Structure 1
Amino acid sequence: MHWRERAACLRVDPELFFPISNIGPTLRQVDEAKAVCGRCPVAEQCLDWAVRAGRVDGIWGGTTESERRAMRGVGTRRTQPCPSSM
């Protein structure tokens, strides 16, 4: 069985996971989507997929696109050599 088939979001309106912004009242929608992810048995696999896939809109694995972009940036900086070690 593929991880997506066990996702908690399968039983929720997909619109919840694609907020139109990340300010104002939409923050409540983001929080509600993240709450579904918080009780999802495959949230880790979902997040891993979204990080590897790159730019993916919506809430995946309990994170927004901007949060995942920040995660990728941190990983990229860690793999580059430190100037003092050259």
Structure 2
Amino acid sequence: MNPSSTRAISTDHTPDWRLQADCRRPGYFGTDHWFPTGTKTRKDREQAADAKAICRECPVALHCATWALRRREEDGIAGGLDADQRRSIRRRVMKEQLSSEQTADVIRAAWAKDAQGPLVDTYLRSTRQGNDGHVWWRGLKSSYTVAGRVFTPRQLAFEVGHGRAPHGQVKSICGEQFCVAYEHLTDGVVHWQREHLATAS
């Protein structure tokens, strides 16, 4: 190569994954949103749950979580995990000598558990047990925001009971219009399965 050449040298360039993070978008939440002051107050817990929910939807959430684990980040929400969760996962990774793929599975499992927690809390707090297995919603609002997501009572009840978001409209099959017992609710998938089984038999 000619040492006097002024032509730029071509090198591989890998874009920084952090530039793709939702939390870096202009006009998004301020930095403080990712650093709740604790877990003692309901406001702090809701802030942490909301931050985690936003993280889990981010296109680089897994990169962020593994980066925070490697760096032993001790503060704030990163990759949808709080500091206690990261410490727990780090201990397990070290103890069981988990591979990158196995670590990713553990992270995803923590996300799934976190996603269910606030929903279960809201369901238990907002319902009362009726007769004949029916469950009634206490509130009068048609939608509720939980961990950054908006649900109707039936959608929330369905996800708590079935462990997944509903597909299509959620309907009651018990004959009680306002029942939110998740055993009495179907979505498009459950309805299709029921019809398919009925046809097969």
TM-score, normalised with respect to structure 2: 0.38
Question: 1:51 maps to which residue?
Answer: 69
1:46-82, CA deviations, whole angstroms, 9 ceiling, x for partnerless residues?
0010000013310000000010000011112113xxx
Superposition RMSD on alpha carbons, in Å? 1.1
Aligned length: 79
In 1: Cα distance, 2:90 partner to 2:40 partner: 23
Give unpaired runs (5+ residues) of structure 2: 1-14, 98-201
Tell me by how many angstroms 1:35 deviates. Answer: 1.4
Map residues 7-86 of structure 1 onto 2, 5 A cutoff.
Answer: 7-10=21-24, 11-25=28-42, 26-79=44-97
Larger Rg: 2
Which has more strand, going by share of residues? 2
User: Runs in 1 of length 4+ with deviation above 4 angstroms?
Assistant: none
Tell me by how many angstroms 1:22 deviates. Answer: 1.7
1:14-71, CA deviations, whole angstroms, 9 ceiling, x for partnerless residues?
1110011022221000011011102100000000100000133100000000100000
Give unpaired runs (5+ residues) of structure 1: 80-86
The amino acid across from 1:9 in the alignment is C
In 2: Cα distance, 1:31 partner to 1:18 partner: 11
In 1: Cα distance, 2:49 partner to 2:23 partner: 14
The amino acid across from 2:23 in the alignment is C
Question: 1:4 maps to which residue?
Answer: 18
Identical pairs, percent: 34
Instruction: Determine helix, strand or coil for the equivalent of 2:62.
Output: helix
Question: 1:82 maps to which residue?
Answer: none
Higher relative contact order (CA closer than 8 Å, sequence separation 6+): 1
